[in-house]
Amino acid sequence: MVLRHPAVQASFWMMGALASFMAMAVSGRELSTELGTFQILFVRSAIGLVIVCVLILNSGGGQIRTRIPGQHLVRNLAHFAGQFGWFYGIAYLSLAEVFAIEFTVPIWTAILATYLLGERMTRARLSAVVFGVAGMLIILRPGLVPLTTPTLVVLGAAVSFAVSHTLTRRLALVDPPLTILFYMSIIQLPMSLLPALDAWVNPSPALWPWLLVVGVTGLSAHYCMARALKLADATVVVPMDFMRLPLIALVGFLVYGEPLDIYVLAGAAVMLIGNLINVRAEQRPVPGKT
């Protein structure tokens, strides 16, 4: 049956990932009307920790052990900075602009992996970097449009996410995904709680459903994407991930009345071209290998 084809199943998982990313963005926007960024991050970590602990207990509980706690700490410092910048930007920028700037993560990851992991900077990867920088310049238009603080914060978040992704590659060689998720939640929980207490706000009942959404989607988005990548090649999954931008732009237009910025869409399209060149090159067989 067609529905059993791996690529079709992967597309369904990616639909779940896309829905999760958009729901997380909308919930972050709704929560930002009353709550500070640190409090949103605390709720996200708390709910995520409960879910991960249940999954670990069901698998026997042995996955909370790690031999590299220091690397988990460094990785989560970077990831926490990225999460803060992302949710901060959601409160002040259009949803499409935040997602577009986030798509610069592959640029910084390629550069960092070259220096931190010793990965080779191939011609295709360099092309992705060049196209990515060009797309970023189209979106930000430095010198023509003032660079606001939220824009710079989201750009810093993209760099932080790149550091986190690079370190996650190291962690994944030693620890399973549930272990990485467990330490992500357990480390980031106190990091967000302490500053959140200074400006703690008891959320109104109308925000309670959004609190649950932001906690659940923080895990479901990455879980769905991982399942999709397990079923199909990156050449199938990655282009679908870029559907996040036009979809979130449509959500922003319909729900919040945000204008459809042609420069944001054009810049994202340029970054997409660079990433597709890189993905296709990575899928080609290497001579001498099977």
- pLDDT tens-digit profile of 121-141? 778 778 878 888 888 888 888
Mean pLDDT of the chain: 85
Q: Tell me what pLDDT residue 62 has.
A: 76
**pLDDT grade for 290, boundaries at 50, 70 and 90:** very low
Mean per-residue pLDDT for 166-195? 88
- Domain ranges for the chain, please list them: 7-283
* Rounded distance between C-alpha atoms, residue 185 and residue 191, angstroms: 10
Mean per-residue pLDDT for 89-110? 87
Full-model pTM: 0.84
Lowest mean pLDDT among 8-17, 38-47, 108-117, 173-182: 108-117
Q: Which residue has the higher pLDDT, 54 or 231?
A: 54
